[in-house]
Structure 1
Amino acid sequence: MEDGWECETFDPFSNELLCDGKRDCPLAIRNADQRRFNHDEDPRICAHRKHCPTTNDRLNIPQSKVCDGVLDCKDGSDETVVEISGKFRSKVCNGFIDCKDGSDEYSKTCTKQGRFNCSALNGAKMFNGFGDCSDWSDECPTKSSRANENVFSSRYELIANPVLRTVVWIMAFLAIFGNLVVMVTEMKLLVTTESQSASFQTNHLLVLNLSISDLLMGVYLLMLGVAGVQYSGDYCANDLVWRSSQRCISMGILVLLSSETSVITMVLLTAFRLYAVKNPFNAPYFPKLKIITLSIILSWTFSFTLAFIPLTSQFQHLFETKAWMKENPFFKSHVVDFSSMDTFMKRFVKFRHNFTINDSQTLDGTLLRVQNVYSWADFVDILEDYNYTELFDITGYLGYYSTNSVCVSKLYVTPTDKAWPYSLGIITLNFVAFMFVAVAYVWIYKRSAASGRQVNERARNARAEKQNQEMQKKIIRLVFTDFFCWVPISIMAFLNFGGTTVPPVIYAVSAIILLPINSSLNPLIYSNAPKMLYDRVRKRLRDVGRRQQPHDNRRVNVAVVAEAAL
């Protein structure tokens, strides 16, 4: 830096103040050759420093402060993409966001380099089944006419609706805690009660069984809530990983196992109560314990069978309709459906001369094998015979329990769904079960009321009337909850199958609220646990009141004595 700089105001000036980022000369400055500059921080003088366009305390900064991650210039120009491009070229448009605002990966910056911005995709790259973006945002963008097709999940969350996410945790707690209380209560009654009639054992064993089956629903809800937290923020990138996982399949099995065992237990409980009311003299002796035990075992066996049928290889072509494959040259998507694979395989074997095959296999024999394929495992076996499995790397399968992010089987089917007879059959079974329970309890109530009118008036007023009232309340609660849980699901399933489209939000509410809440409330309705808890709390409050009463009487007595003395 040359010497001889002086301010036009003739103020004292030292060369150390030149290009320090602050204006020290109020007016212009001249060098030894009398060349005039606007001020001591003029860009012509300080060309070796980064100039800050916006006027502030800092007119320029050292080049070492450019792209250091700190905004030194007031307008932030020292940390822009332009500056990064000059200093950190390798970090611009490299597919990773290095700037906090993502400006190093802006589409305007990266288009010139043949790259694209994932938040501004359109055309063929969207919804093509491939994760072109690292976060798979091209497959579930937030701004698109198809963004709301998935009623359960979103680009960021496994359960998109925050209200439903909260409901999952609340219902999980209520289902687990409530059913555990009922289980302990029922087991205690069965163990401690000395003289037990057959009807007593039947009622409490079936309620215990009902609480166990509904506890599984609580476990499912807890697992769903944990998964939501695990994938929160980047669910879309993990959608296929989650839905094809064994955990998701296990949760789907829990839902079906819990709901169907609950329905069957309700039917058994209603049937045995119906028998007891119709045959009151045989009720203390029938049914026998072995009949109840056998009924419970058969209910679980039937539910297990229903839950595991979709996983059997014989029916895989109906239930596991899609496979998740890594990128291959034959399909345009990572997700390949069973029918597309079947069509491809028939063409594949016809052009077998392009591949290596075993000499013992003939074209007709191979075509016969393809025509008799019923599972993805059969496809894999054929591909192994051709030694060509490396191009068909199947990562996972999407089936009956993988149609949505909450791992619930498809409730509302259409005739185009391959497994519609199975799903519609389960819905019909549940609807018929509810109708039986509702009609049976109405008959039980009427029969009980009629029996009450035939007994002695004094006994009727004392005990029979109270029992009838309790029965009436229980029937009203039962029919009310079942009606608003199972019947809407069944009716909407029938309407959807008939061609009436069910709104997507109704599907989400049915799967996350109606289905779990029904299973969670059943044991509380059937058992005496709520009443026992209420009586215990009421007794405690009454005891506290009695302890306080003597003190109040003492105060009254003291006041009376004082008044008499006066």
Structure 2
Amino acid sequence: MYDCFDLSDECNSTCEKRILKNWILQVLCWVMGVLALIFNSYTVFCGLKTLQDSGTRSMLTNKAMVSLIGSGDLFIGLYLIMLSFYDSFVYGNGFCRHQPEWYTGTACSILGVISTVGSQLSLFAMASLSIIRMHKLTFKKMSIPRPVNRNSVIKVGFLVTGIITASLAIAVTPLMPSLEEYFVQGMYYDPAYKVFIGFPNKEKHVKVLQAHYNTTNSNITMDLTWKQISDKVDGMFTQQHGLLSRRPVHFYGNDGVCLFKYFVRSDDARRIRQTIQNIADITDQKGDPVVWLMLGVNLVCFIIISVCYIVIYIQTRISSRRSGQRHNPERVRENRSIQNKITLIVATDFLCWVPFIVISGMHNLEFFDATDWYVTYAMIALPLNSVINPLIYEKTLAEFLGRKLGEVKRLIRLSISAVMSSVARFIQSRSEDIQSGNNDLDVIQMEHIRVQEDRELSNQVLAETENR
């Protein structure tokens, strides 16, 4: 059995040899990243360009939230492209030999922050937009749209700032040096020293330190801080050539894709929160409070989005019935369009978050080990909303792509029609050639028969002449 997180086993057929394990994920990462980057760049550009032209408060709020959603999804596209670049051009098949520098390096931390900020920014903005739309439709549907003023701009500014601040806080907090006791997973030491192999956590450090100092007393326990552990490790070696070099394994260095650490390993230091006197007393506290908090926040956001848009749909149906336009063909088309849009919003959010929340919960409750599903989530669940959201929230982009798809369909139909016409003309031409050939053959055969008859007639005449 291999321990793929222990660098003594990293280059084998079982452990990862690339950041993205197969060509399907590699292609999917590039495609989804490029699409998310293009679509959301257009959304953000259009939103910011028309933001100052907003004539009413609701229009200003809507454009600001849509731009914020596009910005978050733009970060996801940037994350996917950067990850693909490192996988394809920087490390390739030699990733297993460079895992230490990746897991402990700045690039992985930046990718983790970008992906976390992007996903939370988009999710918080979608939840806020759904609440604003539901409130306007439910409580202010008969009010006259109010023009933009200084107070409305300040309110929108506070809302945008709050969403951005919350997203950044979630992404950056695990990397703060003051919280390393909670978020640092282990240390990577100079490979020239064979005492610590791979990324030893606190448990492995305590075992080695107890063996070295020949003690099991309370001086060396899991209660030691990383600073105290580092001091005791330095005390194991002479200082003639300086201190032993080391790098902490940061919060996002849990997997090659550098995502927020929802899937906590069973031996992770964050799962060991009990004061102990002996290594055998280590207990598993069923996951990490930070993980449960984030899963709860994301689940609440999904519920808010779903409930708000369901209320919007119900209110729209009630309004149509009360106005007497329930059977109006144009109103029916509008209601069907709203229904399809709401269904798409709820369905994509469900597919993006609910299965992942359930799997993360089951993983942290130790029903099964879902650690290997990290890459699948990064390549499928994360980009799903990032590619579809621009088509939902940015009408001009959907219309543009609709026109282009229509042109492509017409071009395909014309091409097929032209090919079929060419084939038909070719078949007709061949048929005429064959028919013409058959006619020529009939003439030749008739001429041959006539010559034979003339020859037979001449022979008969000659025979009668000789008999006389």
Q: How far apart in 2 are the matches of 1:178 and 1:127?
A: 37
Q: Tell me if structure 1 keeps the 8 A contact 2:20–2:375.
A: no
Q: 1:442 aligns with which of 287, 302, 310?
A: 310
Deviation at 1:501, TM superposition (A): 1.1
Q: How far apart in 2 are the matches of 1:163 and 1:533?
A: 29
Do the aligned partners of residues 141 and 222 (structure 1) sit closer, same or farther apart at CA in structure 2, a change above 3 Å counting? same
1:400 aligns with 2:251: yes
Q: 2:390 aligns with which of 503, 523, 535?
A: 523
Q: Tell me if structure 2 keeps the 8 A contact 1:206–1:269.
A: yes
Q: 1:175 aligns with which of 29, 36, 46?
A: 36
Q: How far apart in 2 are the matches of 1:538 and 1:336?
A: 54
Deviation at 1:259, TM superposition (A): 0.7
Q: Tell me if structure 1 keeps the 8 A contact 2:109–2:258.
A: yes
Deviation at 1:444, TM superposition (A): 1.0
Number of equivalenced pairs = 385
Q: Tell me if structure 2 keeps the 8 A contact 1:326–1:334.
A: no
Q: Tell me if structure 2 keeps the 8 A contact 1:252–1:401.
A: yes
Do the aligned partners of residues 329 and 248 (structure 1) sit closer, same or farther apart at CA in structure 2, a change above 3 Å counting? closer
Partner of 1:239: 99
Q: 1:188 aligns with which of 49, 65, 77?
A: 49
Corresponding letter in the other structure for 1:449:
R
Q: How far apart in 1 are the matches of 2:75 and 2:261?
A: 19
For residue 396 of structure 1, give the secondary structure of its aligned residue in structure 2: strand
For residue 403 of structure 1, give the secondary structure of its aligned residue in structure 2: coil
For residue 94 of structure 2, give the secondary structure of its aligned residue in structure 1: coil
Please give the TM-score of this superposition, normalised by the length of structure 1.
0.61
Do the aligned partners of residues 467 and 127 (structure 1) sit closer, same or farther apart at CA in structure 2, a change above 3 Å counting? closer
User: Greater shift after overlay, 251-260 or 182-191?
Assistant: 182-191
Partner of 1:480: 347
Partner of 1:306: 170
Q: How far apart in 2 are the matches of 1:512 and 1:255?
A: 12
Q: How far apart in 2 are the matches of 1:128 and 1:189?
A: 50
Cα RMSD after superposing both structures: 3.5
Corresponding letter in the other structure for 2:101:
V
Q: Tell me if structure 2 keeps the 8 A contact 1:258–1:519.
A: no
Deviation at 1:317, TM superposition (A): 2.2
Q: How far apart in 1 are the matches of 2:5 and 2:329?
A: 73
Do the aligned partners of residues 160 and 391 (structure 1) sit closer, same or farther apart at CA in structure 2, a change above 3 Å counting? farther
Do the aligned partners of residues 402 and 301 (structure 1) sit closer, same or farther apart at CA in structure 2, a change above 3 Å counting? same
Q: How far apart in 1 are the matches of 2:107 and 2:5?
A: 27
1:223 aligns with 2:82: yes
Q: How far apart in 1 are the matches of 2:133 and 2:373?
A: 35
Partner of 2:11: 140
Partner of 1:491: 358
Unaligned runs of 5+ in 1: 1-122, 132-137, 352-363, 545-566
Partner of 1:337: 201
Deviation at 1:241, TM superposition (A): 1.6
Q: Tell me if structure 1 keeps the 8 A contact 2:391–2:398.
A: no
Do the aligned partners of residues 482 and 343 (structure 1) sit closer, same or farther apart at CA in structure 2, a change above 3 Å counting? same
Do the aligned partners of residues 477 and 317 (structure 1) sit closer, same or farther apart at CA in structure 2, a change above 3 Å counting? same
User: Greater shift after overlay, 530-539 or 392-401?
Assistant: 530-539
Higher helix share: 2
Partner of 2:142: 281
Q: Tell me if structure 2 keeps the 8 A contact 1:326–1:392.
A: no
Partner of 1:323: 187
Q: Tell me if structure 2 keeps the 8 A contact 1:323–1:397.
A: yes
Do the aligned partners of residues 128 and 534 (structure 1) sit closer, same or farther apart at CA in structure 2, a change above 3 Å counting? closer
Percent sequence identity over aligned pairs:
22
Q: Tell me if structure 2 keeps the 8 A contact 1:414–1:498.
A: no
Q: 1:423 aligns with which of 270, 291, 296?
A: 291
Do the aligned partners of residues 528 and 502 (structure 1) sit closer, same or farther apart at CA in structure 2, a change above 3 Å counting? farther
Deviation at 1:373, TM superposition (A): 4.7
Corresponding letter in the other structure for 1:171:
M
For residue 457 of structure 1, give the secondary structure of its aligned residue in structure 2: coil
Deviation at 1:198, TM superposition (A): 1.2
Q: Tell me if structure 1 keeps the 8 A contact 2:263–2:370.
A: no
Deviations 1:139-189 (A, max 9, x none): 3222xxxx1xx4xx32xx221111001111001101110101111222233
Deviation at 1:491, TM superposition (A): 1.1
Q: Tell me if structure 1 keeps the 8 A contact 2:186–2:199.
A: yes
Do the aligned partners of residues 301 and 345 (structure 1) sit closer, same or farther apart at CA in structure 2, a change above 3 Å counting? farther
Corresponding letter in the other structure for 1:172:
G
Q: Tell me if structure 2 keeps the 8 A contact 1:171–1:516.
A: yes
Q: Tell me if structure 2 keeps the 8 A contact 1:401–1:409.
A: yes
Deviation at 1:524, TM superposition (A): 2.5
Q: How far apart in 1 are the matches of 2:250 and 2:117?
A: 17
Q: Matches of residues 27-46 of structure 1 in structure 2 within 5 Å?
A: none
Q: Tell me if structure 2 keeps the 8 A contact 1:220–1:255.
A: yes
Q: How far apart in 2 are the matches of 1:502 and 1:130?
A: 21
Q: Tell me if structure 1 keeps the 8 A contact 2:390–2:397.
A: no
Q: 1:266 aligns with which of 126, 131, 142?
A: 126
Do the aligned partners of residues 179 and 378 (structure 1) sit closer, same or farther apart at CA in structure 2, a change above 3 Å counting? farther
Q: 2:111 aligns with which of 212, 230, 251?
A: 251
Deviation at 1:408, TM superposition (A): 1.3
Partner of 2:430: none
Q: Tell me if structure 2 keeps the 8 A contact 1:261–1:303.
A: yes
Corresponding letter in the other structure for 1:198:
R
Where do 4+ consecutive residues of structure 1 move more than 6 Å?
A: 346-351, 382-387, 538-541
Higher Cα radius of gyration: 1
Greater relative CO, 1 or 2 (CA 8 Å, sep 6+)? 2
For residue 412 of structure 1, give the secondary structure of its aligned residue in structure 2: coil
Deviation at 1:492, TM superposition (A): 1.0
Q: Tell me if structure 2 keeps the 8 A contact 1:175–1:520.
A: yes
Deviation at 1:476, TM superposition (A): 0.9
Q: Matches of residues 455-470 of structure 1 in structure 2 within 5 Å?
A: 455-457=323-325, 461=328, 464-470=331-337
Q: Tell me if structure 2 keeps the 8 A contact 1:414–1:496.
A: no
For residue 11 of structure 2, give the secondary structure of its aligned residue in structure 1: coil
Deviation at 1:468, TM superposition (A): 2.3
